[in-house]
Amino acid sequence: MPRLKTCLSLFAAVLMLGQVVTAQAEALPDFTTLVEQAAPAVVNISTKQKLPERGIASGQMPDLEGLPPMFREFFERNMPQPPRTPRGDRQREAQSLGSGFIVSADGYVLTNNHVIDGADEILVRLSDRSEYSAKLVGTDPRTDVALLKIEGKDLPIVKLGDSNKLKVGEWVVAIGSPFGLDHSVTKGIVSAKGRALPNDTYVPFIQTDVAINPGNSGGPLFNMNGEVVGINSQIFTRSGGFMGLSFAIPIDVALDVSNQLKKDGKVSRGWLGVVIQEVNKDLAESFGLDKPAGALVAQVMEDGPAAKGGLQVGDVILSMNGQPIIMSADLPHLVGGLKDGAKASLEVIREGKRKTLDVTVGILPEEDQSLSASAKAGVERSSNRLGVAVTDLTAEQKKSLDLQGGVVIKEVLDGPAALIGLQPGDVITHLNNQAIASANDFTQIAKELPKNRSVSMRVLRQGRASFITFKLAE
């Protein structure tokens, strides 16, 4: 009898384990229907590019280092030596460079700008192996989005979703052509939303752990409803290959860009005319904030929308039109989504007090504007407890930098200034949240700096302004 009980208990345990395994298997998502329905609208994109004879003969290769450090484009442009044509010119053979997807039955295709950048001829290949020559409708390098057009009727199209409804932890699927292997499927989850990357100011990226490799660029990212929620665009890598971090452009951003490209051939964005920086713990303390949050205004462009709306250097922007600014990177894509002439209500902290400013948004210039800097020798010199010798700005310097006051560093001695990285030629315009009018003014404010508390200083270096913090010991 005891042996029978033992056998029955063992059988029950095995049965329960089988039920658990079955339940877990049933809980795993099934991607087969999604892929069957969505894959026909995913395309392979290849290009042809004419190259100068000397460029090919010398073995010159395209520059793949244009992305920020540790961020690389998804594709590698291998360049085998092509044969000579009868005229002696050479032309790169068509190669599988990336992916894309059809968004309208009459042939509009979305992909990445970097996939087709510099191409003389663009070829689009569908899942049925048919090929089309594509016309470039327009590109937007700032978001890395390109819109193509192929001539066709009743083409398969993807379903478009709402990237704003994505949740962290949600399953997502990528379909593309990694290494030229058409319609490869990979899956993962949403790791984060609204991710800001260096030099990609206007895109709140979707971060996933979907396996992405060279050739996936421009391909769609699907949710479990089979709807496109993003365009696969970048990876984070130290090895050159996939390391578990991939980034997609939200489809709502891409559609706004494509609609403007289709209508106007270019993209217009809202612009405030400020340089901002992150608010860290020390800056938050120096500006009297309860916690690090918002976008600190380090620079205001002359006659820009922000200047006309009353925004000042040292203001910390906490929200825009009721939308909180948690990280400084939240502000640019919110402003960029507004049109020229739109109203923006900004909640700011100024000298410890909350204010609301109404600013009329302008249009982002074609090229980023920056202030030029020059630091020339002055006459009067003032030393102080910070371990830095400064002089007044000349009238010419003030004019070139568009400043009313400030001092330029002539010499950095041993002391706090050296420790925080100040250099000769740096221009200091604010100290401890107070504007600096002259060298004497700077010295007086420096004498009264508090000890063992974060103190902020606004510094211009090569025309770029930023706030830094430091503490003076007892």
Distance of CA 204 to the CA centre of its chain: 7
Q: 61-94, pLDDT tens digit by residue?
A: 444 444 444 444 443 433 444 444 455 455 555 5
Q: State which amino acid sits at residue 96.
A: S
459 and 423 share one domain: yes
Residue where a domain stops, chosen among 363, 396, 418: 363
* Confidence (pLDDT) at 140: 94
Q: State which amino acid sits at residue 249.
A: I
Helix (H) or strand (E) holding 396: helix 395-401
Residue 80 lies in a domain: yes
Residues of the chain scoring pLDDT < 70: 1-27, 50-96, 198-200, 237-241, 367-385, 414, 473-474
Q: State which amino acid sits at residue 277.
A: Q
95 and 117 share one domain: yes
127 and 54 share one domain: yes
Residue where a domain stops, chosen among 294, 329, 363: 363
Residue 126 is part of a domain; what is its CATH number? 2.40.10.120
Number of domains composing the chain: 3
Decide the pairing of beta strands 121-125 and 42-51.
Answer: antiparallel
Residue 347 lies in a domain: yes
* Confidence (pLDDT) at 61: 44
Closest CA to 220 of 100, 96, 45, 98: 100
253 and 130 share one domain: yes
How many C-alpha atoms does 213 have within 13 Å on its Cβ side? 14
* Confidence (pLDDT) at 472: 77
Cα–Cα distance list, 48 to 7, 97, 146, 287, 301 (Å): 71, 10, 17, 55, 42
Distance, first Cα to last Cα, the chain? 83
Q: Is 71 exposed, middle or buried, given 0-12, 13-18 or 19+ CB atoms closer than 10 A?
A: middle
The CB density around residue 88, as the number of other CB atoms within 10 Å, is: 7
Unique residue bearing structure tokens 């984060």: 192
209 and 73 share one domain: yes
39 and 115 share one domain: yes
Residue where a domain stops, chosen among 261, 292, 315: 261
Cβ atoms 41, 154 nearer than 8 A:
no
256 and 322 share one domain: no
Residue 419 is part of a domain; what is its CATH number? 2.30.42.10
135 and 233 share one domain: yes
- The DSSP bridge partners found for residue 390 are 382, 409
317 and 455 share one domain: no
175 and 246 share one domain: yes
146 and 257 share one domain: yes
Helix (H) or strand (E) holding 345: strand 343-350
234 and 91 share one domain: yes
Cα–Cα distance list, 265 to 127, 140, 457 (Å): 29, 10, 43
Residue 250 lies in a domain: yes
Structural domain for 96, as ranges:
30-261
Record the tokens describing residue 334, joined without a space.
């919110």
Residue 9 lies in a domain: no
Q: What is the DSSP string of 13-58?
A: HHHHHHHHHHHHHHHS---HHHHHHHGGGEEEEEEEEEE-HHHHHT
Which residues form the catalytic set? Answer: 114, 144, 217
* Confidence (pLDDT) at 54: 44
